[in-house]
Amino acid sequence: MTVAKKVTKDVEKDRWIASLSNGETIFEDQLKGTLGAWKRLGAYVKENKLAITNMRLRIGGRQVELPSHQEGYVIKGKMQSTGSWSRVCVCIGHVQGGKARIHEVSADGSSHTIIVDDPGEPFTIYRQDEEKSNG
């Protein structure tokens, strides 16, 4: 599965960045006509029995950093619209004990945090490394 291991022309300024248990760093890229970067990362983590160890989001000149070494990490987009007004948020969070703590962040700088049930795959990427299999 193809993932961006460096900043290329397909990697935008606003992006999530994931550090993996094998030492690699993966950047969100924008490849048209294929699965989104998060889904490709989920497949890559499974294929290689890895874990996301650190997760962060750069958006609107800010950086959101999540706690490291969690059971899982969540990314999803959220569109809100009244027809005449619309806003896209990036929802980034982590999972522990079946609950997800998610930060909804938009490029205009606004954000708020919610705690919801773990949305599950493909929104959540769970750790697939030894730490998980050993319980």
Q: Is 30 in the site for another protein (CB under 8 A)?
A: yes
Q: Six-digit token pair at 84?
A: 């005449």
Interface positions, 88-107, toward another protein (CB under 8 A): 88, 91
For another protein, the closer CB: 15 or 127? 15
Angstrom distance (rounded) from CA 42 to CA 3? 10
Element of type H or E holding 42: helix 37-47
Q: Is 35 in the site for another protein (CB under 8 A)?
A: yes
> Considering only 27-35, 52-60, 62-70, 92-100, which stretch makes contact with another protein by CB under 8 A?
27-35
In this structure, are residues 107 and 60 in contact, taking their beta carbons and an 8 Å threshold?
yes
Q: Are strands 99-106 and 86-96 parallel, antiparallel or unpaired?
A: antiparallel
To another protein, the closest distance from the beta carbon of 12 in angstroms equals: 8
For another protein, the closer CB: 22 or 30? 30
Could you tell me which residues come within 8 angstroms of residue 126 by beta carbon, excluding any fewer than 6 positions away? 71, 72, 95, 132
Angstrom distance (rounded) from CA 57 to CA 62? 8
Q: Using CB under 8 A, pick the residue from 9, 13, 23, 81 that binds another protein.
A: 81
Q: Is 36 in the site for another protein (CB under 8 A)?
A: yes
Angstrom distance (rounded) from CA 4 to CA 55? 15
Q: Is 32 in the site for another protein (CB under 8 A)?
A: yes
Q: Is 44 in the site for another protein (CB under 8 A)?
A: no
Q: Using CB under 8 A, pick the residue from 25, 80, 110, 113 that binds another protein.
A: 80
